Amino acid sequence: MADEAGKHIGEVLLSASNISLSFGAVHALTDVSADIREHEILAIIGPNGAGKTSLLNCINGVYHPQKGTITFEGEPRADLAPSEIARQGIARTFQNVALFKGMTTLDNIMTGRNTRLGGNFLKQALYWGSYQRDELEHRVLVEKIIDFLEIQAIRKVPVGRLPYGMQKRVELGRALAAEPRLLLLDEPMAGMNVEEKEDMSRFVLDVNDEFGTTIALIEHDMGVVMDISDRVIVLDYGRKIADGTPDEVRANQAVIDAYLGVSH
Amino acid sequence: MLYRECGQFKSTYRDDQSIFPIAQDRWALWIALAVAIFVVPTIGSDYWLGSIFIPFLIYALAALGLNLLTGYAGLLSLGTAGFMAVGAFATYNLMIRIPDLPFLVAIILGGLIAAAVGVLFGLPSLRIKGFYLAVATLAAQFTIEWVLTTFGWFTNYDASGVISAPPIEMFGYEFKSATSRYLLTLSIVVVLALAAKNMVRSSIGRSWMAIRDMDVAAEVIGIRLLRTKLLAFAISSFYCGVAGALWAFLYLGTVEPQAFDLNRSFQILFMIIIGGLGSILGSFLGAAFIVLLPILINNAAGLFGGAIPADVVSNFELVVFGSLIIFFLIVEPQGLARLWQITKEKLRMWPFPH
Amino acid sequence: MEFDPFLYIQALFDGLLAGIMYSLVALGFVLIFKASGVFNFAQGTMVLMAALTFVSLLEMGWNILLAGAVTIAALVLLALAIERVVLRPLVNQAPIILFMATIGLNFVIEGGTQMVWGSDPHSLELGDPYASFEIGPLFFNNNELYAAVVAALLVAGLAIFFQKTRIGRALRAVADDHQAALSVGIPLQTIWVVVWTVAGIVAFVAGVVWGGRLGVQFSLALLALKALPVLILGGFTSIPGAIVGGLIVGASEKIAELLAFDLFGVGGVENFFPYLLAMVFLMFRPEGLFGDKIIERV
């Protein structure tokens, strides 16, 4: 929906150039370059094992690529711990839901605010004055996210007891709570039924629309990808084989070969 | 009194965030406190106060410390007694070397020194977890024991190794009677328990639980792992250190490394497993259980009129403890606190469970 | 302080001999860890239980073979009971839960053994405890050398068992993935009983060897705790690692003890040195010398 009125895709927010990552003899990524532009929804697609998750892991610092540089907001970035990258404004969700199972929905999403809800532990131990005010302020914001994702009813339920689709939604909420500039979603709709997929697509579009958040997502459902993304990049065997609007990618011969399989 | 939530509407987030959101819980706490302050000292004999209530409270404090580390932050420690020993000996040395140092200040400083030692031995937690970390904390336990027994300076060159603790005086009052020692212990434990409850419902507590449940995800939302883990070690060791100081000064009346051996560490670990990992209330329940069980077993053995030798009874105790640990891990890994919660949930629905 | 290099060489040899016996205890851990993913904290008390049962039967005038057979039978029963009461109900639980369960098991075995046999120390005399020989200035005890040979044979046997036999491969398969092993038809529960029995027999050998040196008493269980740093150094899944780790721990603690005495005049360093060594080692190489490198996937 790149042609939708009122949407301005801006400058390059994050740029990965010539990224290579390998584990021993396994080359997960080879010389991959990709840009993510402000306010866009970028889909990363490709067959299983193409290196999609590895690319996200490099972007948010879970892995450090052996070669190549990542530039965020115009600044080339050193190898930082994931926690520091999160503090720069990159949040993500995981392929296999990575929630804090022993905690409630509310606490999980509140944890997303932790980087902004500092205050030293002594203040927290006293739960007094400014800390209590802070906690309440952040609670208000978290409640907005809970309303937005329509999960009011499960606010106080430990997430371990929730059905899978709901867990995915809570995980999105936790990422949103950090108010990221760049949101990485690793297969947000995997294992969902049609109705749940529709809900999730709507949330992704709304986040992009209402908060202007830049989103990069990995998805296998081509229908969804073509519907919601502004741009698509395609990975195969750790290399980028296509980059363009959904229509361009759909017509790209290399992509068709990768998906249908040609003898290499 | 019926345990009901209905009719208690919360119209602000402040009410919802309050420490005990359900009115009956608040009342139960106030009643428990009132009983502990007014009723227990009046009806309890010196034996009950000095040999059961005081050690119970101190155990609960140590269990609370370990629970912050193991139950909340998910970092298993077998060195609890080592950190208690640091607290006890640090407090002792501060008291004898700095004249007129108030007892409370000495205890806090002793706790801080224990915290520093805890941080030192917590450093490997950045790279390792689970039972690997347990082995690292065993290093703390054995090294601390060795340092305290080897270097005479720590025991003020006392040849016997068993030093009587200096008397405690505050505001011109000497805490000597069982009642006064009990009340002093109680007030320290209550304050620290409230602080712990506050921490675990704040951002630091959420950070701990986050790294316990899934450390990679925690890091990815911006939680600094090393800092959070070391803070857990520091605060936990502070609690254990204070507990150690209280153990030496208010319970035993002597300062000795033997009081803080590996078995003590296990005992406290058992308290939190039986009481409930990740539960403040559980620390108290577990401590009560482990203090009372040997008394129960000994009394039961006493029914046989001394026909059972003492060492058989103490070995039987080990078997019972061990079996209970396995039982709880299988049947109710979340411990007594969870059983209590289930009872409350049932009570809320009663008499219409469906 | 006077510095005598021969003392250090002697300490090195003593340490290596003691180290082989640490390896023996560590082996029991590795076996169980490989096959069931359980870090068995109770291995030390299994050593105590086996040795105490054996020595008590001997003192009752039993024939040595019969006493040995009955001890092994007791270990089989223990393995069966553990599988039924502890492992089966806790299958697929987090490793840390299983670890804590074995701490409970540790206490049950310790209390149970001492309830049956009492907690008095016993001496276990196998051959002449003082027979010895000298090579130059160095001094060797015959019994310790025999013990080392027994340990070495056992280690070699187990290594072959794991690498070359069908059951050995099945054991490794179970260790990698319980569910997958089940689905290719490996009987999980039988395997567990076998492994715990083998670990029990290893503990038995360790108990006899250690008991011959130090007498059979409660401190055997504590000595066995030293196998933990051995495992950290060697890696939890590696049999060669357990051996090398044992040698390192044995030799380094004896030398550290001597060095600390020469330099600072303090003793007792060997009581904690291995743990500290393991802790420092962990910070730099968490997977051990021979363990598998852990790559975390998300």
Which helix (H) or strand (E) segment holds residue A146: the answer is helix A129-148
pLDDT for the residue B27: 84
Q: Which of B55-59, B94-98, C288-292 has the lowest mean pLDDT?
A: C288-292
How many percent of chain C have pLDDT more than 90? 13
> How far apart (Å, rounded) are the C-alpha atoms in residues C98 and C81?
15
Give chain A's count of helices (H) and strands (E): 10, 10
Confidence of residue C226 (pLDDT cuts 50, 70, 90): confident
Report which of B137, B138, B158 is spatially closest to residue B148, judged by C-alpha positions. Answer: B158
DSSP class of C294: P
Pairing label, strands A231-236, A12-23: unpaired
Report which of C222, C254, C199 is spatially closest to residue C48, judged by C-alpha positions. Answer: C222
Tens digit of each residue's pLDDT (9 = 90 or more) over B117-156: 999 999 888 777 777 788 888 889 999 999 998 888 887 7
B119 touches chain A (CB under 8 A): no
Residue ranges of domains in chain C: 5-125+142-284
Fold of the domain spanning C5-125+142-284: ABC transporter involved in vitamin B12 uptake, BtuC (1.10.3470)
pLDDT (tens digit, 0 to 9) for every residue of chain A, 264 residues total? Answer: 444 545 678 888 999 999 999 888 888 899 999 999 999 999 999 888 888 999 999 999 989 999 999 999 888 888 888 999 999 999 999 988 889 988 999 999 999 988 887 667 777 877 766 788 888 888 999 999 999 999 999 988 889 889 988 999 999 999 999 999 999 999 998 888 889 899 999 999 999 998 889 999 999 888 888 889 999 999 998 899 989 999 898 888 888 888 776 655
| Average pLDDT of chain C, as a whole number | 82
Chain B contact set for A100 (CB, 8 A): 209-210, 212-214, 217-218
pLDDT for the residue A2: 43
Question: In Å, how far from its chain's centre is CA A246?
Answer: 19
Is B19 within a domain? no
Instruction: Record the tokens describing residue B100, joined without a space.
Output: 């007129």
Q: Is the pLDDT of residue B354 over 70?
A: no
Residue C183, SS3 per DSSP? helix
The total number of structural domains in chain B stands at 1
Contact B124 C282 (CB under 8 A): yes
Contact C298 A53 (CB under 8 A): yes
Q: What is chain B's alpha carbon radius of gyration, rounded to the nearest angstrom?
A: 21
Check if the beta carbon of residue B91 is closer than 8 Å to that of residue B163. no
Please count the CA atoms within 13 angstroms of the CA of A207 that sit on its side-chain side. 30
Is B27 within a domain? no
**Domains defined for chain A, CATH in brackets:** 1-89+180-264 (3.40.50.300), 101-178 (no CATH)
Check if the beta carbon of residue B138 is closer than 8 Å to that of residue B146. no
**Among candidates A114, A131, A135 on the partner chain, residue whose Cβ is nearest the Cβ of B222:** A114
Neighbours of chain A (3+ CB pairs under 8 A): B, C
Contact C279 B135 (CB under 8 A): yes
- Residue B131: give the domain boundaries: 45-349
Tens digit of each residue's pLDDT (9 = 90 or more) over B210-251: 999 988 899 999 999 999 999 999 999 999 999 999 999 999
**Among candidates B74, B132, B217 on the partner chain, residue whose Cβ is nearest the Cβ of C286:** B132
Instruction: Record the tokens describing residue B191, joined without a space.
Output: 């304050």
Which helix (H) or strand (E) segment holds residue A55: the answer is helix A52-59
C107 touches chain B (CB under 8 A): yes
Is B248 within a domain? yes
pTM above 0.90, yes or no: no
Cβ under 8 Å to B: C residues 86-105: 86, 89-90, 93, 95-97, 99-101, 103-105
Instruction: Record the tokens describing residue B262, joined without a space.
Output: 């590996």
ipTM (interface predicted TM) = 0.88
Contact B206 A131 (CB under 8 A): no
| Per-range mean pLDDT, top range of A7-11, B76-80, C98-102 | B76-80
**β-strand partners of A186:** A218
Residue B245 belongs to a domain with what CATH number? 1.10.3470
Q: Is the pLDDT of residue B256 over 90?
A: no
Check if the beta carbon of residue B323 is closer than 8 Å to that of residue C104. yes
Contact C298 A98 (CB under 8 A): yes
B277 touches chain A (CB under 8 A): no
Chain C contact set for B333 (CB, 8 A): 93, 97
Contact A94 C295 (CB under 8 A): no
Cβ under 8 Å to B: C residues 196-255: 225, 228-229, 231-232
Nearest CA in chain C to B313: C115
A62 touches chain C (CB under 8 A): yes
Buried/exposed C82-95: b ≥16 CB within 10 Å, e otherwise: bbebbbeebeebee
